[in-house]
Amino acid sequence: MPPLETDPAVPGADERPTPGCRRCLSALRSPGRGSVAFLLLDTLTVPLVGCDEHLERFRSVCGHTTAARAELIDHRPAGGITCPGCRLAAHNPRQAVVPVGDGAVAVLACSEHGSETVRRFGTGLRTRRTLDASLPTSE
């Protein structure tokens, strides 16, 4: 039997992605202290909002883009966030929201570090697809 494939819905260009993951959704709707995590990626320290599962996925994808550390911590790092723009962005509701699987992660960074993080995530996804393609699939 051929596999049934449905066309993925094409979202509006400037619509925010609505995550299918309810825990991401509630974290994005009311980002509080408990739902903010900090991604340490090379020299970047980027506050992120999402559920634990999708934050971890975001981290592991970004980890493909660095030979150094890609860590997720759930408390403000020692020394804090050095970039003043990123510190302000944590209080700014206009965040970049990145779809991660069926969830979504908001990047609470200044435009420079936010786009750097999103770019790294995109690079990591491509790397992961390449890795996946070279592995035998078990499904």
Binding site for Zn ion (CB under 5 A): 21, 23-24, 51, 54, 83, 85-86, 103, 110, 113
CB of 126 to Zn ion, least distance (A): 22
CB of 42 to Zn ion, least distance (A): 14
Biggest CA–CA distance in the chain, Å, is 58
Q: Which helix (H) or strand (E) holds 100?
A: strand 96-100
Q: Which amino acid is located at 131 in the chain?
A: L
CB of 108 to Zn ion, least distance (A): 10
Task: Give the C-alpha separation, 45 to 83, whole Å.
Answer: 9
Dihedral, CA atoms, 97, 108, 72, 129, nearest 10 degrees?
30
CB of 120 to Zn ion, least distance (A): 14
Q: Specify the residue, 80 or 130, whose C-beta has the smaller distance to Zn ion.
A: 80
Task: Give the C-alpha separation, 25 to 49, whole Å.
Answer: 10
Q: Specify the residue, 24 or 49, whose C-beta has the smaller distance to Zn ion.
A: 24
Q: Specify the residue, 73 or 130, whose C-beta has the smaller distance to Zn ion.
A: 73
